[in-house]
Structure 1
Amino acid sequence: MPTVLRCVNVCRRLYTLNQLTAQVLYSPLSMSSELQKPDNTDKSAEDSWSLNYVTGNLFSCPKDEALAHCISEDCRMGAGIAVMFKQKFRGVEELKEQKKLPGQCAVLKRDGRFIYYLITKKKASQKPTYDSLRLSLEDMKLHCVKNGVTKISVPRIGCGLDRLEWPRVSEILEQVFKHTNISITVYSLPVKAETTVMKENMRR
């Protein structure tokens, strides 16, 4: 009997030893596998946002991209690139009916894409603030996320007749959109062409 018990005990020890060995050998692999799993998941949306620059006519952008620019609450659009938006997309009464205030964003839908009107001031004769621009961009972002908009083309918003500074505006754009998958393309006309357009569309 003692011999049999000794054999049983030896077998038990060997079995326990094998279990411990298996844990040592395979646990790191398992942990490594678990640690690597996040790398195989989809990248965070903030990695896919972008701010791009193009020299050219804003209205030549791809037809599947949304457009955005700044206007006043009164929807006058009597100067600068706003005149071209009004001529091309009309809808002034439709915009007014939305009753948007400074810091909000009015929207038209034309030919399957959205046209965003960032309300950055109360009257056309006033100047916007960086805060009102930021708030209107936040409002536009909410609409974009809700409606699956991932591409927007814009002029240098707030930096024409409204006299905001682009370095700060571009920083606001990054702060607002960096946690999204929305790409923004900024269109700028060559200096001479821009000067001509601005003169032609001066406020009457």
Structure 2
Amino acid sequence: MSRGSEEAGSCDAAQSADDSWRLTYVTGDLFSCPEDEALAHCISEDCRMGAGIAVRFRKEFDGVEELQEQNKLTGQCAVLQRNKRFIYYLVTKKRASHKPNYDSLRRSLEDMKSLCERDGVTRVSMPRIGCGLDRLKWDQVSEILERVFGRSGISITVYSLPERAETKAMNENRRR
């Protein structure tokens, strides 16, 4: 499968042979995705959402109490509905200060898949889940996405912000 070129505004899709799902990469703001697409991101059981993109989800959709009332555990998925949009909260760790593992991410994605099927959702947009502050490796996360959603009829669009030139230069020159 091909991977996106990650140029500003670019979009690249990897599609399975039976045309039942698509993994698409977009460079841009996740919150600019079409309003009829569901959103997903990772949280902890304590629903703190105090860092990274989770802060924006908390501000955009509120509902922390609603999420806490669902009592979801690591490996499960909480959900909010705002207008016609579903927002899926992948519970990948116990506390905000912990790090997830690939198994907890996979289990939460499987739970999300069953919720998507229940809710009639066929398109989900997300960031590179687990790969920001949580430090998972995208090549392994994308394989999990393919295993869970391949042949499901649920298409996934992964958004990445464009890398600023100074950030790229700092990363290239950082001591290893």
Query: Structure 1 regions of 5+ residues with no counterpart?
Result: 1-43, 196-204
Alignment of 1:173-188 (within 5 A): 173-188=145-160
Out of 112, 126, 132, the residue aligned to residue 140 of structure 1 is 112
Q: Is the 8 A contact 1:55 1:188 kept in 2?
A: yes
**Alpha-carbon distance, 1:47 to partner:** 2.9
Task: Give distance in 2, aligned partners of 1:45 and 1:122.
Answer: 37
Q: Kindly provide the amino acid, as one letter, of the partner of residue 154 in structure 1.
A: M
Q: Deviations over 1:73-110 (max 9, x none)?
A: 00000000000000000000000000000000000000
Aligned pair count? 151
Out of 90, 93, 98, the residue aligned to residue 121 of structure 1 is 93
Q: Kindly provide the amino acid, as one letter, of the partner of residue 113 in structure 2.
A: K
Task: Give distance in 1, aligned partners of 2:115 and 2:151.
Answer: 15
Identify, as 1 or 2, the structure richer in helix. Answer: 1
Q: Kindly provide the amino acid, as one letter, of the partner of residue 28 in structure 2.
A: G
Structure 2 counterpart SS, 1:47? coil
Q: Is the 8 A contact 1:156 1:186 kept in 2?
A: yes
Q: Is the 8 A contact 1:46 1:180 kept in 2?
A: no
Out of 123, 139, 149, the residue aligned to residue 167 of structure 1 is 139
**Alpha-carbon distance, 1:179 to partner:** 2.4
* Alignment CA distance shift 1:45-1:86 (3 Å): farther
Q: Identity, % of aligned pairs?
A: 74
2:74 alignment counterpart: 102
Please identify runs of 4+ aligned residues in structure 1 that moved more than 6 A: none
**Alpha-carbon distance, 1:46 to partner:** 5.3
Task: Give distance in 2, aligned partners of 1:48 and 1:67.
Answer: 19
1:15 alignment counterpart: none
Identify, as 1 or 2, the structure richer in strand. Answer: 2
